[in-house]
Structure 1
Amino acid sequence: MTGPPRISRRRFLEASSGAAAAMFTPLARLTDIQPPLAGGRFVRTLRLGDPARADNPPLNQLLGAGLDARLFTDLSGLAPGAMVPPNDRFYIRTACPPQADATRGWTIALGGDARQPHTVRLDLLDPLVAPMGTHLLECAGNSNPNNYGLLSVARWDGIPVGAVFDRMRPSSAASRVLVSGVDDDRPSRTSVPGASWIFSRDDLERAHAFLATRMNGVPLPRHHGAPVRLVVPGWYGCACIKWVDRIDLVADDADATPQMREFAARTHQPADATRARDFVPAVIDV
């Protein structure tokens, strides 16, 4: 006897995209697009996978600590018109490290191959904060068919990265941007320390990347990068650095960072990619 068919991640995301599209479709049109089942009626939603499996992690609950922390969002509670979970149910891949103290005055070092390296206080960038829209983030390791819970949507406010780049004058050798964040340096079973990713400036501006400071109308929660995280719409969460404290301009031949190498396979990079320029944009596979 065969068990129920397993739903692939790709098929799940295709279905989710359809639900998200339906969210913006007028009700009158939905009745034309989706003919009702003959004699059918909605009963309830079901969780993905087999609920009886012993290895199913609890949902909407923070598990573990540091780099091993996880919160799997229960996607069964989402519906057209209610696709944005509350902040305390937004997925978590890494918990806030002890070194990231958002209660102190936060600064971001702007340096590397910049002609005039300097440090900027985050509060001085407040006038640049603006609504950035509703965007989905997904962990590149979101592969558990029982929940696919490392995926969530939020409404963001933040600072366009171009406004920060305007404060940095690159040297002739600098053509890429290294964004780094505070990270937990304690031993981990699931990851390696070092939260950083190298981008081309064009990739960041094409994606309309921003430094997020607010999430669903409130200041960024601590486990989601407070007080500031990078969001690159359409890219995997491993590139959306939390607790950003450095932005450096680097040369085109810069080596890929440890985080880039760790997630290379999961972000569909070439097998021989060793330098940042060898990496393709880490866009979500839908």
Structure 2
Amino acid sequence: MSLTDELAAERAALQMINPAPYNAEAPAAALATEITPTEFHYVRSNFPLPEHDGTLQIGGAVQTPITLTLDDLRAMPAHEAAVTLECAGNGRPAMRPLPTGEPWGDYAVSTARWKGVYLHEVLAQTSPSATGVDVRFEGADHGPYHLNPVLADTDRNNLTFVRALPLVQALDPNAEMLIAYEMNGEPLGQDHGAPFRLVVPHWYAVASVKWLKRIDVLTEPYAGEFQTGHYMYEWPDRPPEPVDIMRVRARMTTPAAGSTIAAGSHAVRGKAWSGAGPVVRVDVSLTGAGEWYAAKLEPPSGPYQWQDWSFDWEATDVGRHTVRVRATDAAGNVQPEVPPWNRLGYGNNAIEVVYVDVI
């Protein structure tokens, strides 16, 4: 089977958003499982699939620059974590006026089990300078970037995907950031960042740089297209803010939106997650402005993954019902009624409204 055939097989279950660069949502059924099968995991790319020479260079403001291969990483102590990743633009088309950017529906979110080495342990080998401020992560992916037409043509034709994190966070052992080389027990596939990628728990997935090629410790804050150009909340009434941790959100998986069910008892189910800590409460409302009822919320199976919730609904009234779902996290964040509009359409965590017909 050729590489093209392999990719086609891997992508068959996904809902394509853009063919080039390839972006695709998970199928609705993917939200029903604790761990998303790899073939159902959504794919987000800013450029075409890159070539990678198999090495990871680490330098900048460090005492000991190093170059690592996949074998070097596999020789280090391995760690695994189930991590929910969500695209910052998930749900963008629900905002009004419609922002620019990929028109993701509501399924640019998935949970996989990642295996690799801790970022802080790798950085420790290089002895970062005490003057270090940020850590810059460069992917191997590059090319024209059509979403910023104000750039000069020469720049637009050869941008590279680069992001940065504060050095203090990258060195924090409690953050458990991974340089991952396996996904769900298998080597990383092309769409998911082979041969190795960054996985940053709690943050929107833009921080989890794929096809990782180079890491540099910087003595000045990093500024770049994907750090301070895009992936910024550009609010209409206050200064811009960087996109960072995932906003609290609950999704309903059963019954499906627009479905028809027979009158009687039904289990309403779904997933909830937040980058600010575990979800502590999920509420369900059965009318547009009615009372909220507490759902049964399952404890998290791990510190970085979504949680299951369920609600027993006595659907005895025939007719159309609007079912709303609202999550609250441990930091006290509650989903808003309307999307938090910003120019580039990031962070839509508005309360979901699902229509169900009872017959």
1:282 is aligned to 2:249: no
Q: 2:167 aligns with which of 201, 225, 239?
A: 201
Cα deviation, residue 189, structure 1:
4.7
Map 1:207-222 to 2 at 5 A: 207-222=175-190
Distance 2:247 2:72 in 1: 36
Q: Which residue of 1 aligns with 2:51?
A: 100
SS in 1 for 2:247: coil
* Contact 2:133 2:221 (C-alpha < 8 Å) held by counterparts: no
Q: Which residue of structure 2 lines up, in the alignment, with residue 150 of structure 1?
A: 108
Determine if the alignment matches structure 1 residue 135 to structure 2 residue 97.
no
Structure 2 unaligned residues grouped into runs of 5+: 1-11, 95-103, 150-155, 249-359
Contact 2:56 2:68 in 1 (8 A): yes
Q: State the alpha-carbon separation in 1 of the partners of residues 87 and 188 from structure 2.
A: 18
CA contact (8 A) 1:129 1:157 kept: no
Q: How does 1:44-193 map to 2 (within 5 A)?
A: 60-66=14-20, 68-79=21-32, 82-94=33-45, 97-101=48-52, 106-128=54-76, 130-143=78-91, 144=93, 147-189=105-147, 193=159
Contact kept? 1:65, 1:95, Cα under 8 Å: no
Deviations 1:19-64 (A, max 9, x none): xxxxxxxxxxxxxxxxxxxxxxxxxxxxxxxxxxxxxxx9714453
CA distance in 1, matches of 2:138, 2:211: 8
Please give the root-mean-square deviation of Cα atoms over the aligned residues, in Å. 2.8
Q: State the Cα distance separating 1:122 from its structure 2 match.
A: 2.6
Q: Which residue identity does 2:166 align to in structure 1?
A: S
Between the two proteins, the alignment pairs up a number of residues equal to 214
SS of 2:169's partner is helix
Instruction: Report the TM-score when normalising by structure 2.
Output: 0.54
Structure 2 distance, partners of 1:241, 1:113, is 20
After TM superposition, give the deviation of residue 88 of structure 1 in Å: 1.7
Give yes or no for the alignment of 1:245 onto 2:196. no
CA deviation map 1:144-192 (0-9, x unaligned): 4584111111011111011111221223422321111112313435897
Q: 1:257 matched to which residue of 2?
A: 224
Whole-angstrom CA distance in 2 between matches of 1:62 and 1:128: 37
Aligned 8 A contact 1:99 1:184 in 2:
yes
Counterparts of 1:98 and 1:285 in 2: how far apart (Å)? 29
Displacement after TM superposition at 1:84 (Å) = 2.1
TM-score normalised according to structure 1 size: 0.66
* Greater strand content: 2
C-alpha distance in 1 between matches for 2:27 and 2:46: 18
Change (3 A) 1:266 1:227: farther
Q: Secondary structure at the match of 1:85?
A: coil
Alpha-carbon displacement from aligned partner over 1:256-281 (angstroms, at most 9, x marks no partner): 221112101179xx8356xxxxx5x7
User: What percent of counterpart residues are identical?
Assistant: 28
* Secondary structure of residue in 2 paired with 1:119: strand
Cα distance in 1 for partners of 2:71, 2:120 equals 17
